[in-house]
Structure 1
Amino acid sequence: MFASAPKRRGRYAVGGRGMVEFGSPLPEVAQVLASGLTKRELVDWGGVALRVTGVAAVAPPSFSSGRAVLRTATPVVMKGSGRDETGERTTRQAWVLPAEPEWAGYFQQNLVRKAETLKVDPAVSLEAVTWIGPKRSFAVSQGAKPGAAVEVELTGPPETLQALWSWGLGQANSAGFGWVSA
């Protein structure tokens, strides 16, 4: 986040003083990343030179109640079925937005798949979508991925909620989508 950087359509704004957050649901990966960054003065991030002035590890909240309210700082992207009302597949690139009927089901499947990948308890549930930001599209690889920032209420085991907080919500997290605000 670079508050003083001029906004550019379809791109993340960079320039001036700011902050870049990296995360991983695997603490070992986050620790190695933090260790490596502390040894650098500059990081080349997509052709932008970032001067490293500090590195801080941020632990996820405890979520001891088994409930979490997570809000993303970047759009959440989610692919849908690509099928029309009759069930016929019309496209493979069927990006769906949080207010669309398929979104919640595919989002729920994504939460469970992430938990299973990390070998944590997959008994996590989307309880509600409490806020939806404006639609935003960013160019990634070949084509634009549309999504919207969201705030969601989840229930599940604390360890699973911590992992999701650290990983991000939705798809394409490694490209910066679905980053949960600390």
Structure 2
Amino acid sequence: MPVIAWGPTAFIIDKVEVVEPPSFSSGRAVFRTATPVVMKSSGRDEAGVRTTRQAWCLPGEAEWDVYVEGNLRRKAESLGLDQDLSLDAVTWVGPKRSFMVSSTNGRGGKKPGACVEVAVSGAPRTLVALHSWGLGQANSAGMGWIGL
């Protein structure tokens, strides 16, 4: 396709170059995102009472590591790959950014996130797939894309 139409914007494609992902043969990867990672948390307070349905969390907040690790395992499960993954460390966090998004009720809202660098351990094939998929939620909307 020489032209890709994305909403009102037309992208003219001159050349496509395949970029092979790293092999991650050691079973360890360091992923640094080029776009912010967005992640929902449980929406529960310290007493375990649910206070909201739309509880966005940021790196460094109590539930972020647990929910990102669970998200990575669900992605591996969806692809039929080894789910034995661990988020070993968050080694860098960029500034918080919020993005306006549309919604079905027409009012829209904001999704907060931050670019991150994380160390992850798992099966090499699973790490290769995650490198292409991204971290966190809303990857198809451009969130949590991993840089080269």
- Using the TM superposition, give the Cα deviation of residue 124 of structure 1 relative to its aligned residue in structure 2, in angstroms: 0.9
* 2:78 partner SS: helix
Q: Percent identity?
A: 64
Partner of 1:141: 102
Structure with the higher strand share, 1 or 2: 2
Taking structure 2 as the reference length, the TM-score comes to 0.93
Which one has more relative contact order, counting CA pairs under 8 Å at least 6 apart?
2
Contact 1:127 1:153 in 2 (8 A): yes
Query: Structure 2 CA distance, aligned partners of 1:46 and 1:84?
Result: 40
1:87 to 38, 45, 48: 48
Please list the CA deviations of residues 13-50 of structure 1 after superposition, one character each: whole Å capped at 9, or x if unmatched.
Answer: xxxxxxxxxxxxxxxxxxxxxxxxxx31x222231222
Taking structure 1 as the reference length, the TM-score comes to 0.76
Does 2:41 match 1:75? no
Partner of 2:79: 118
Runs of 4+ in structure 1 displaced over 3 angstroms? none
Q: Which amino acid aligns with 2:43?
A: G
Gaps of 5+ in 2: 104-108
Does 2:13 match 1:47? no
The count of residues paired between Structure 1 and Structure 2 equals: 143
The CA RMSD over aligned residues, in Å, is 0.9
Please list the CA deviations of residues 97-139 of structure 1 after superposition, one character each: whole Å capped at 9, or x if unmatched.
Answer: 0010110000110011111110000011100000001111112
Gaps of 5+ in 1: 1-38
Please list the CA deviations of residues 40-94 of structure 1 after superposition, one character each: whole Å capped at 9, or x if unmatched.
Answer: 1x22223122221211121211000101000000000000000111111111000
- Using the TM superposition, give the Cα deviation of residue 140 of structure 1 relative to its aligned residue in structure 2, in angstroms: 2.2
Matches for 1:15-30 after TM superposition, within 5 Å: none
Query: Structure 2 CA distance, aligned partners of 1:174 and 1:56?
Result: 21
Partner of 1:107: 68
Q: Which amino acid aligns with 1:44?
A: A
